[in-house]
Chains A and B, each alone.
Chain A
């Protein structure tokens, strides 16, 4: 058998890159942690699931249709969204989840020596895709839990091609209001592509929250990301999209992988898009349970970062990864935040009331059992 000279074949930027290892399936984790039920509060999934119409489509999907290729460019969904947002269908590009469209944009605009700019504590995929593609990711420290516009502008140089703004930010929930976003775009002056990731936009009801799609008319360098994984509860079907100025999208289309969105996802989205009632019910659930969760956490004496989005962050008086293991043993899965560069914080997705109650009970018990020790002494 010949040996593969991997060290000669692998680019340096891949050698440096650490692969992301997703969680094991729930059943495996439950077996390992010895719990009989599991509340998933780690991935910001919609506790109500997909809208009823989409559920019906999924239930009735004709098995024989699985043997046919789906629409390669998500034709009907593009047309429907175009009509809803008064845009042209060709302004939309779809991916297998919004993660995929991040790669489309970076591949379309960056070449060797270029960089992208984003925050140090935000959704990690912008940074990952840039780095494993061989481009520098300039990570600007967040300020008061929010993207720091001034510092991001200072980080721009002649090789900056794309600026990613997660609005509202995952995991902090902060957002730039319309004034701040417009000021930022004015200063950028169209010299870079500005991606506004609006994965959680449907959860924001503030009047000063900017609509990226409307800004595109005045700022043709704006590209907006949206997803059906969060508000529309279709995370398991993997479908997200970008929308931008026709000329910009024409460029991105060259790096777009067609046929990557499956037929069930496309059909389900067609039924989901117009279900405003589902959006209202989800918003109400998130509002109610987020208020409950934040008040309970504050009553435990904990620092809480609860802003927009379907999640809250909480700072623990213990290691977040230890808290993760202890919560798992009690059947509650949260997101530990060390990997987001927020040591000792966890992010909790908003779920149904029974899940929120189970989380609070589990966390209360864990904190009660955690002896507080003076500095330099670690409790055993």
Chain B
């Protein structure tokens, strides 16, 4: 049986004599995982630069494990190594290093970070670092007008879709809704099939019965976020006659599907007018500036799945009035624990990750790594993003991570203000800050 290859791994010494082995491994894995030649070359380049960095900075005799993971719609190259001196500065959007400044190692990381679509860095106490580079797979173009104009079902059932039904649903979704409601990553039918098979996206659809069994009247999409949250999208309704029935049945089915998972709640901002309001609570709204200069408020709805047993969150005093207000309004039992920098040592360089949402002209920054230059780094990001023409700059701060809570005063000083709280969206609640000047 010809089964799909999903993983390859290599463990080796950080010795430059093994570089060609790493290059071949990265490139050939990418090709084996169905990436295009161009994308495989980029993966090869990223692998070369990271491995070069490790060879230059690691102690003699140290090891690195390199894994190539086939996520179907993307490839992930994961480096796991032990170090006491990893400087991830170059992974910042703002990073610019030159060999003249004696930072040749960081130049390699900079090249690696630009060769892929996303990255993450995880630090496992005491000295293990896991660096993941992700490159998305390219899909052929598909004609957008293939979805049917309208659907009229006599009756319907909800179910987890097969591959062809996923594609039919996506085509209908792309036809009926704009990117502001049916987001860009979900608009490519074969990519969505791969995301569902990979388990990174879940879907429930309403299909016709009998002779109409191939018709899709609506659906709902969800994905896991962080350790305890689900983000859902929809319900998308293509059959206006059965609309509210389909919407309620989809929401009931969705909630039943996630009720017994380890997730504590679900939220959405990509909702439709068919969302049955009584199932959700409002977290608030965020005001967006649109490309044409108009303003638009976007509501966030939330549904807790479990009885809230309360928790503690880390915060600095400046954020406490906002938190008290939100926790009182949402009846969320929380103990706020204050924290701040008190002269303890910090790494020299911080890292921020950036996720773009072009249809909303918005971008979300997330702290990845703390460092002394955090305020300066953040200001640099804001400047570059403004220059890029992005009108909405957000920063997600996880109140379950003490070092992130210590960054709050610098956030206020940099012109950010808290606008929304997502319960349990990270290790604890996540506060969304918006840049306002």
Contact = CB atoms under 8 A, between A and B. Distances in A.
Interface of A: 18, 21, 23-24, 28-29, 32-34, 120, 124, 316-319, 321-322, 324-326, 328-329, 335-336, 338-341, 343-344, 372-380
B304 A28 contact: no
B301 A325 contact: no
A375 B244 contact: yes
Contact of B277 (A322, A335, A379): A379
Contact of A336 (B274, B279, B307): B307
Interface string B372-392: 000000000000000000000
Interface residues of B, number: 39
The 3 nearest A-B residue pairs measured at CB: A376-B273, A32-B333, A32-B310
A321 B303 contact: yes
Contacts of B305: 321, 338-339
Contacts of B247: 375
A335 B307 CA distance: 8
Contacts of A24: 309-310
B284 to A, nearest CB: 7
Contacts of A379: 277, 282
Given A18-B261, A339-B259, A344 B309 contact: no
Contacts of A374: 277
12 contacts: A21-B309, A32-B334, A316-B278, A319-B281, A321-B306, A336-B306, A339-B305, A340-B259, A341-B260, A343-B251, A372-B278, A376-B277
Contacts of A29: 309-310, 333
B24 interface: no
A336 B261 CA distance: 16
A325 B260 contact: no
Nearest to B252: A343
B28 interface: no
A380 B284 contact: yes
Given A29-B310, A321-B304, A343 B331 contact: no
A102 B138 CA distance: 51
A258 B227 CA distance: 39
A215 B190 CA distance: 56
A375 B259 contact: no
B331 A326 contact: yes
Nearest to A374: B277
B316 interface: no
B307 A375 contact: no
B275 interface: yes
Contact of A322 (B256, B261, B262, B281): B281
A125 B280 CA distance: 28
A32 B252 CA distance: 30
A378 B307 contact: no
A302 B277 CA distance: 17
